[in-house]
Amino acid sequence: MSGRPGAPRHVAIIMDGNGRWAKRRGLPRVAGHRKGVEAAQVIVRAAGDLGIEVLTLYAFSSENWRRPATEIADLMDLLRRFIRRELGQLAEAGIRIKVIGDYHAFESDVVALIDDAIARTADNRRATLAVALNYGSQSELAAVARDLAREAKDGTLDPESIDESTVAARLSTTELPPLDLLIRTSGEKRLSNFLLWQAAYAELHFTDTLWPDFDADELAAAIAEFGRRERRFGGL
Ligand code: IPE
Ligand code: IPE
Ligand code: MG
């Protein structure tokens, strides 16, 4: 892994706007999701070219279960196809695949595909693609609280010793570098339950571009803008 000076080590993207992209063209929402997967493939490669160590993509939130069953089924089909089509290339490119979120709630064949993707790329070190699947930041934090409470009750953890690092060590992102840059497409300016803890000092980048139209040039521009930001972390 080789970060470039001034470049973000860890970039996360809330890939939003697939439905609106399709609607503007009079197409069904699934057409937008299909284009969105193509955009994700392009951006994964571009992130590697830009020297980003970790790219975290928000693909399915724990709130996305509120969508119609047909749309969820379409998304699962696209996930299946993405893994089948991309895994070989990602593995060869030295990319480690990591999943954050409770993907075990997905159908068993999808779980098996994901487990295989994780296992086959576990030793890769060039870069990490973290995919958020059935991810919700609040439930992630609640799970940490539950674990800490259990350990305190068992007497294996002194409650007074709990600090930020104790919590961070139990998050699904624990072994990843700190989140530097969080991008959201489609003009929405909210976090939608994504990486609430991890985004504490991330730079935020909002673009009106709908996810299917987000390309390598726009990622490069966001990275360049990141390089011009002054990060103070509370200091002067
Ligand atoms: C993002 O696009 C993809 C997922 C949430 C899975 P949307 O489906 O949210 O697209 P819009 O927001 O309806 O345009
Ligand atoms: C956030 O987008 C989740 C993903 C991109 C996977 P949503 O479209 O689900 O978010 P809201 O509903 O607009 O907040
Ligand atoms: Mg959306």
In tens, the pLDDT along 176-223 reads 999 999 999 999 999 999 999 999 999 999 999 999 999 999 999 999
pLDDT at 155: 98
pLDDT for the residue numbered 6:
83
Which pLDDT score, from 0 to 100, does residue 126 have?
96
Task: Please count the structural domains in the chain.
Answer: 1
Atom of ligand 1 nearest to the CA of 23: 14
Examine the pLDDT at 28 and tell me if it is beyond 60: yes
Whether 33 maps to a domain, the answer reads yes
Residue 97: give the domain boundaries. Answer: 10-228
pLDDT (mean) for 28-35: 98
Mean pLDDT of 90-114: 98
**Domain-embedded: residue 130:** yes
Choosing from 15, 60, 61, 133 the residue with most ligand 2 atoms within 8 A of its CB, the one to mutate for a pocket test is 61
Whether ligand 1 lies within 6 angstroms of the CB of 18 is answered as yes
| pLDDT tier for residue 161 given thresholds of 50, 70 and 90 | very high
The whole-number pLDDT of residue 5 equals 72
Looking at the domain assignment, is residue 234 inside a domain?
Answer: no
Residue 98 pLDDT greater than 80, yes or no: yes
Is 1's pLDDT higher than 90?
A: no
Judged on CB neighbours under 10 Å (0-12, 13-18, 19+), 150 is exposed
Mean pLDDT for the chain overall: 97
Position 4 in a domain: no
Please say if the pLDDT value at position 4 is more than 90: no
For atom 9 of ligand 2, which residue has the closest CA? Answer: 64
Angle of helix 29-49 relative to helix 69-92, nearest 10 degrees, comes to: 20
Ligand 1 atom nearest 61 alpha carbon: 5
CATH code: domain of residue 59 = 3.40.1180.10
1 within some domain:
no
Report pLDDT digits (tens) over 40-97. Answer: 999 999 999 999 999 999 999 999 999 999 999 999 999 999 999 999 999 999 999 9
CA distances from 132 to 26, 114, 217 (A): 29, 12, 24
- What residue's CA is closest to ligand 1, atom 13? 19
Per-residue pLDDT at 2 exceeds 70: no
Flag whether 128 is in a domain.
yes
Residue 96 located in a structural domain: yes
Contact yes or no for 19/64 (Cβ under 8 A): no
Cα Dmax for the chain? 60
* Distance (Å) from CA 16 to ligand 3 centroid: 5
Residue 139 within a domain: yes
Place of tokens 């493939």: 41
65, 191, 192: which to mutate for ligand 2, most atoms within 8 A of CB? 192
pLDDT the model gives residue 20: 99
Ligand 2 atom closest to the CA of 19, numbered from 1: 8
Cβ 163 vs Cβ 146: under 8 Å: no
pLDDT at residue 3, as a whole number: 62
